[in-house]
Structures are given as C-alpha cells and as structure tokens.
Structure 1
Amino acid sequence: MIDTMSGTDCPACGSGTVSLGDAAPWCPDCEWNLDAYDDRRRRPEFGWAWVDRWTYRLAFRMTRGQYVRLVGRPLDANGRGRAGLLTAAASLVLIGGVGALAVTGIWLIVAFPFPNLAVLPGVALLGLAVALRPRFGRLDPDLEVVTRERAPQLHALIDEVAAAVGAPVPDVVGVDGDLNAYAGLVGVRRRRVLCLGLPYFGVLGPQERVALLGHELGHFVNGDPRRMLLSQPAFTMLGSAADLVRPVDTVSAVGLVEMVGEALGKAFGWVLSRLLFGAHLVLLSVALRDSQRAEYLADELSARVAGSVGATGLLDVALASGSTALAVRREARAGHGADRWRAAAAEARSAAADRLPRLRQLSVRDEASLFSSHPPTGLRRRMLESRPARDAAVVLTEERMARIDAELAREYARVAREISLSG
C-alpha cells in the first residue's frame, strides 16, 4: 500500500488531500470525502450497486453519529440505548411466537381423540417450533483446550486481568490458529469460553497481551447483546425461519395441475423467505448498534487493565492485520517460533508507522457497515484517546511472558506446522 498525495486541495478547508493505495482521496484535517462510497475497496453486501451505496451511507452516518453521542460520556454496561431495548423486545416477541407454535401444536395433538386429522398440523407446528428454538451454541471442535494444569502461568494472568476488569474467569480457555481472539458463552449452562488465536497472541507485546485479555474478558460484563441469552433470538430466529421456507429444487411435477401447484408453492415460499430474511437483516442491523457500543466499553476496560498505551497499541496491531499475517506466515515457514513472529510483526509495524494516521482515518470508511459488530478501528482508537490516560493495573514482564510462551510451545509448534502447510 503506497501513501500518496492526491495533488488536489480540499474544497471544504483548503488543505491538501491524501490517499492510500487506490483509495478515493480525502482531507486529513476536516475529513472531507471520508464518507465516500469506494466500490473498488468494498465487497458488495447486497449485490445491487445502488442498494450497497445507500446502505453504506446509512451505516457511515449511524456509525459516526453513535461515536459523537458516546464520546466523552460513560460507557457502562447499563447504558443500553433504544437499539438494545428494541433487540430485547424483539427477542421476547420471537420467543413468545415460538412458544405459541409449540403450545398450539401440542394442543392439536392431544385435544382430539386419536386418530384425527388435527394431529398432522399439530406435529407440523411442533416441528416448526423445534426448528426455530433458540440456539445456545457449542464449543468449537477446532478449539484446543488449555487447562490450568497445562498452562498455570497463562491462567494466573487471566485471573489477574479478570479481577482487574471485574469479570468472571472463563470456564474454558483454548487456542487456535486464527489471527483473532474471542470470548463467548456456549451451551444451556452458558459456559464462558476464551479463545486466543496464537498468531495474534504471539505477535503482541506484554501490555498488548494484557489489553487483549482485558478486552475479551470485558465482553462478559459489557452487556454485549451477542452474548446475552435474552438477545440471542434477535440474531438467529428470523434467519432460521427464512431458511426453512426457502424453496428447494425437487423432482419435477407431472401433469399441468401439479406443475401449477409447484410453481405457486415456490413463488409463495420465495416471497415469504425474502420477507423473513429482510426482517432479519433490519433487526440485525439494529441489534449490532448496541454491539458496537459494547465494543467501545470493552476497549475502555482494556485500557483500564493494560494502560492506555497498551490498549491503543493493540488497536494498531489489529489495523495492520494484513502485514502481521504475512510476517507470521513468513517466519513460520522458515521454521521460527513465536519470538521471531513478534519481532517480524514489530518490524512491519515500524515500517508502516508513517502511514498509521492515514490507516486509522481510512478504516472509518472501509469498516463502516450495517452488519459489522465492531465500530471502525480508527473510531475505537479515537474514543480511547478522548478519555483520560490510564496507567496499567496489571503489568506483564518480559520474563513472565516468556514463561507463558514456553507453556504454549507445543501449541505454537502445531500452529506453525499448519501455517507452513497452508496455501
């Protein structure tokens, strides 16, 4: 990616405009044209250019508007706005609807003497209720669980960070080979799961690792609707219903009456599935506004435990995920371990230091979406910078970090092999 000057002056403030690579130019001072829809850099979300352009502009306005409303204000988990309340209300309605289907189905089955034709719609309604029931999630089969006995130093650090952010410790800690990390709840018992992608965790410096743990554990206490049992139906039920009624190709009908009936049935199913899916997208876009608020709060909890420098550094690593992935792949294929991954990623970030301010601004354009669970990385960093600087509550030394990496040596080696063998 090449940093270029566009050679034109901003029509709003007169400053010189800038660009990165093939991105449409914008003004770095007043951010004129930063809201431009850049179809060369965006993956289509709906497939119709005019729809993608309109939804992008709506997403950009909503994202910037939410940032303006939240900056300088408390981000506590109880501060849910209209989006969070609407998500919870929609979930209750959906759960009530599924419950009504189940009750009606059972009533049709047992209310009349058997055999009776009422059994057929009763069984159908009961089956539909089962198919649309809320899902509680399952443990990822690719997750390699790391027990407390296997990695006591890692678990001790997690315990310290959890105490500092006021979060419960996870029930399951695991690692995988993704350049990512996540925290979630699975199963009816709502077991707390923390997953650390080793290519991500391994390239971070000491306080950036503390910041990562603080952010992920913060999701257990930040009111994120994606992890709350009451909000789950809003994210899944209407989408599942759309899949159920979507027409599928079957054996061709024989005879004019059968052909007409099949065509009408497919037409009805197609319209109904599109209506349900459209409602699913609308509800999802609303629910994710509250999810983005929760991400800002997770960042603030991250800064509280790791210090502002560690938290903003973590966001810069996320911003440079492309160069980080290349560095890790190169070092893994050369047979080097996590220490070289970290050094190579640091070198890549250092080489891109002069472009970072542009990358942060450009992320506000590139990452704006109605269906993104995270605010743009640049806005997340601005939110942290707008708040008072914090000192670290938990300090991870280089020596202790080395002991943690030694505990995970077997897992690092496995991930390195997988990276080396990947295309």
Structure 2
Amino acid sequence: METSADVAQPVTQPCPECGAQVAFDERYVNWCAACDWNVDPGAPDPEPGRIAAARRRIARTYGDRLAAEMERSGVTAGPVGRDAATLLAYGISLLVHGGTVLLVAAGVLLILLGRSTGVLPAVGVLMLGLAWLMRPRRMRLTTYTPVLHRADAPALFELVDEVAGVVGTSGVHAVVVTTEANAAVTTYGLRGRRVLFLGLGLWEILSPQERVALLGHELGHFANGDTRRGAVMADAMRALVTWFSMLAPTSPIGLMDRFVNAVVFLPRWAVYGLLLLLDHLTLRASQRAEYLADMSAARAGSTEAAVALMDRLLVCVPVEDHLRRESVAAQMKGGPGGRAARDQAEDGLWERLAGRFGAVPEREYERLRRVAARRGHSVDSTHPPTHLRRRCAATFGPFAPQVAYDPPRAVALAGELAPARAELARRVIRDLAR
C-alpha cells in the first residue's frame, strides 16, 4: 500500500523578491508567478538584420491595434479585402517587376548595338545577370524530399480535404514532410499548384485536435487571401531584398572602395525605403489574414485546440535544440557499437520528442506566455505577436471541433507517414550535427 511518504512532494523555495513560495524543477526555469521574478532570464533572440527589425516594429504596432479591432467587430471569416493600400502595393510591385524587364531590354540592346565598343556588351551581360537574380521564381518540388501525393497518403489527403471544406477552400496537390518545427502552404510550378509543408518537429508534439487546428490555420491562408503570399507581391519583395543586399557597402580598403560605397549609398536606401513602404502598405492585410487563419484553425479543430496550438509555437525553438542534441549524442557514440546506437536513436526519435514536449508542465507554458507578451514573440518578423493571436483566437466561439481526428484515422495517418518519419529521423541523426 502506498503511503504519503512514498509520494514525491513538490520542492518549493521562497521568492527572493516577494517571498512567495516558488515551485522548484531543475528541468525548467524557476520563476515567481506572483511578481514575475526570473520569468525571462534569457535575452531576446530576434531575426537579425535591419529589414527584420523594421518589420518587427511594424508588426507589433499593427498586431495590437488589429487584434483589438477584430475582437470588437467579431470578424471570424472572409477574404482579406483589396483596399487602397493594397492596390498601391500592387502598383509598386508591378513597377519593381517593370524594372527587371527594363534591365533585360537594356542588356539585350547593349549587347546587340555595342559590339564595336567591346565595353557595352560586357555591361549588357552584367545587366542580364542582375535581371536573372531579380526574376520571378516558382518553387519546384524536385528540390524536396520526401514528397507525398494523394496516391501515397490517401488518409492524409482525405483529412486535408475535410479541413479545407470546413474553412472554405480546396485541398493541396502535394505534401512535403520536413524535420522543421513549422508548417506552411505555398504554390509551386507554372500552374500554381498547392503544396503543404508539414514539419514533424511541430506535428509530432501536437495532440490530434491540435493537428487539425494546424491544418485549418495553414489552409485558412488560401481561403482568406493573404496578399503578401501572392506571386506578384512576394516576388517583388524578394527582388527588393536582393537589391538591398547587393548594394551593401564593403569595408573600405582603398579610394575605389570609398567611391563605390558613396555611389551605392542613395540607391541602397531608396530600395530600403521602397521595401519599408511595401511593408507598411501590406502588413495590416497580412496580419489580418493571420488572425483569420487562426479563426479557421478554431473552426476546424476547436477553439481549445487553436489556443493550445499557440502555446506549442512557444516551444518550437527548444524542439530544434532537442533534435540537434539527439544528433550530437548519436554521432559521439563511436566505436563498434556506434552504428547500432545511431540506428537505435533513429528508431525512437519522434516518440522521444513527443514524450519530451508532452511532459512540459502548465507552469512552464504560463511562463512562456508571459515572456511572449514581454518580448512581443512572433513566429517571424511579419506575424502578429503570438500572445495577441492566442487572445484573439480565444475571444471568438467557443467553436466545437468540426473535423474529428479519431483513433482509426490516427492509425491510418501514422502508417502513411511512417516511411517519411524513418527517412527524416535518419537525416536528423546523421546530418544535423554536421
């Protein structure tokens, strides 16, 4: 018979700031819920670069304002509108693409008409090279593996189709499975076919209904029409970022370096200003699309699952660290038993990941939520702050799950994803530490 002495008692210690009792767990940060002592002992680790910093500032401003606006209005669905700002952004994007066309035309003319000079054709070739770097690009599935099509995973595509029907769009043509703690949707090829990127680093730590909510969020981007994800806008922004990087000043060694830096100074900051203007014009619509995608997640998987999904996003960086540690530990086991140890590490990798992050206590999630609110944590520099997304998703509803992830479906999906899980586990253990 178990006695009270056999039951492990939680260890507590007084808070050095307010004296309240603080639960002690050596696996996690010790902090005080009463006064927030030590709630955020680490330093923020934002995306580097001037462009990302500017986008973070805009994202936080729009995120707070837009979250309050959507909570007041009660908007839960509908495509993002084409207002004056969006139309102006499209106009600027077309001008950027027009500049690429002018580079091509000028380069061809210099090559054809300047043969006798010897210099002009060289300039023409340089212009064509720049135009090639700025060209619109379509994603190719051939660069990714593993890729699942409908014949490879009928149960998975059936789930995607069912979620798509709930959020008001159609399914995808392919699913790319990755090791990342992330998920995304985009289009590929000249015909603009749809593809879902499914990161096992995130998928494996989610509960069944949280997985449905994740699919609802990603497919919600197709339903709600995020302008920044469109080919015209995305290619224009990528071209401007490329120009900004190419015009970066070099360390001045001689007089020529100083002269070149002086020449590119104004064009570089003109490009930066244009990129910042595009961000201002499109970020409100883009963030509204994120909030609407969160609403799609709640409608498909339930409000509870959508809110829990936001909490899971707070541990995505530790997920990647965990996979890296698994890889390093396996690589360090050399000798005759090294290969067997690596095989064993591959076999249970995703189960260990799920167990590790399934055991994160609510107290740690609460700390991460408070840290997110302090830092303005977001998935990247263009997303609204995660704590605002969580608050907004919890405001509407409550929605009951419209798509079920029952045990038979779970078994079928596990079988279809098994080859991809094995291949990616092998990739993590053998390649991630290098």
TM-score > 0.5 by shorter chain: yes
8 A Cα contact 1:181 1:200, kept in partner: yes
Which residue does 2:303 correspond to in 1? 308
Determine whether 1:67 maps to 2:67.
yes
The equivalences for 1:27-66 within 5 A come to 40-43=43-46, 45=48, 60-66=60-66
Q: 1:234, CA displacement in angstroms?
A: 3.7
Structure 1 residues 277 and 175, CA, compared in 2 at 3 Å: closer, same or farther?
Answer: same
Instruction: Look up the SS of the partner of 2:35 in the other structure.
Output: strand
Structure 1 residues 82 and 339, CA, compared in 2 at 3 Å: closer, same or farther?
Answer: farther
Which residue does 1:136 correspond to in 2? 138
Residue identity in the other structure for 1:21: N
The equivalences for 1:199-278 within 5 A come to 199-246=201-248, 260-261=255-256, 263-277=258-272
Cα distance in 2 between the residues matched to 1:160 and 1:3: 51
Instruction: Look up the SS of the partner of 2:36 in the other structure.
Output: strand
1:233-255 superposed Cα distances (whole Å, 9 cap, x missing partner): 342122222334445689x9xxx
Which residue does 1:294 correspond to in 2? 289
Cα distance in 1 between the residues matched to 2:262 and 2:378: 31
Gaps of 5+ in 2: 1-12, 20-32, 328-343
Q: 1:277, CA displacement in angstroms?
A: 3.8
Q: 1:369, CA displacement in angstroms?
A: 7.3
**Alignment counterpart, residue 346 of structure 1, candidates 335, 338, 358:** 358
Structure 1 residues 43 and 203, CA, compared in 2 at 3 Å: closer, same or farther?
Answer: closer
Instruction: Look up the SS of the partner of 1:175 in the other structure.
Output: strand
Which residue does 1:19 correspond to in 2? 36
8 A Cα contact 1:94 1:233, kept in partner: no
Cα distance in 1 between the residues matched to 2:305 and 2:249: 51
Structure 1 residues 104 and 218, CA, compared in 2 at 3 Å: closer, same or farther?
Answer: same
Structure 1 residues 214 and 224, CA, compared in 2 at 3 Å: closer, same or farther?
Answer: same
8 A Cα contact 1:144 1:175, kept in partner: yes
Instruction: Look up the SS of the partner of 1:134 in the other structure.
Output: coil
1:90-122 superposed Cα distances (whole Å, 9 cap, x missing partner): 212212333344445555666x69757876665
Q: 1:339, CA displacement in angstroms?
A: 5.0
TM-score, L = length of structure 2: 0.75
8 A Cα contact 1:181 1:197, kept in partner: yes
Instruction: Look up the SS of the partner of 1:168 in the other structure.
Output: coil
- Once the two structures are overlaid, the 10-residue window that deviates more, 66-75 or 209-218, is 66-75
Gaps of 5+ in 1: 9-15, 25-38, 253-258
Which residue does 1:12 correspond to in 2? none
Residue identity in the other structure for 2:348: H
Determine whether 1:148 maps to 2:128.
no
Which residue does 1:373 correspond to in 2? 382
1:308-362 superposed Cα distances (whole Å, 9 cap, x missing partner): 12222222222233555577776984842645543442222xx2x1343443243
**Alignment counterpart, residue 395 of structure 1, candidates 404, 420, 427:** 404
Q: 1:379, CA displacement in angstroms?
A: 0.9
Identity %: 31
1:368-416 superposed Cα distances (whole Å, 9 cap, x missing partner): 5797122122111111111121122211102211221122222222333
Cα distance in 1 between the residues matched to 2:58 and 2:171: 38
Structure 1 residues 417 and 18, CA, compared in 2 at 3 Å: closer, same or farther?
Answer: farther
8 A Cα contact 1:312 1:384, kept in partner: yes
1:167-205 superposed Cα distances (whole Å, 9 cap, x missing partner): 222121121111111111133322211111123212222
Instruction: Look up the SS of the partner of 1:221 in the other structure.
Output: helix
Instruction: Look up the SS of the partner of 1:19 in the other structure.
Output: coil
Determine whether 1:191 maps to 2:186.
no
Determine whether 1:166 maps to 2:178.
no
Residue correspondences, number: 386
Determine whether 1:7 maps to 2:26.
no
Cα distance in 2 between the residues matched to 1:124 and 1:324: 44
- Once the two structures are overlaid, the 10-residue window that deviates more, 192-201 or 313-322, is 313-322
Instruction: Look up the SS of the partner of 2:414 in the other structure.
Output: helix
Structure 1 residues 369 and 194, CA, compared in 2 at 3 Å: closer, same or farther?
Answer: closer
Instruction: Look up the SS of the partner of 1:185 in the other structure.
Output: strand
Cα distance in 2 between the residues matched to 1:285 and 1:21: 36
Cα distance in 2 between the residues matched to 1:335 and 1:113: 64
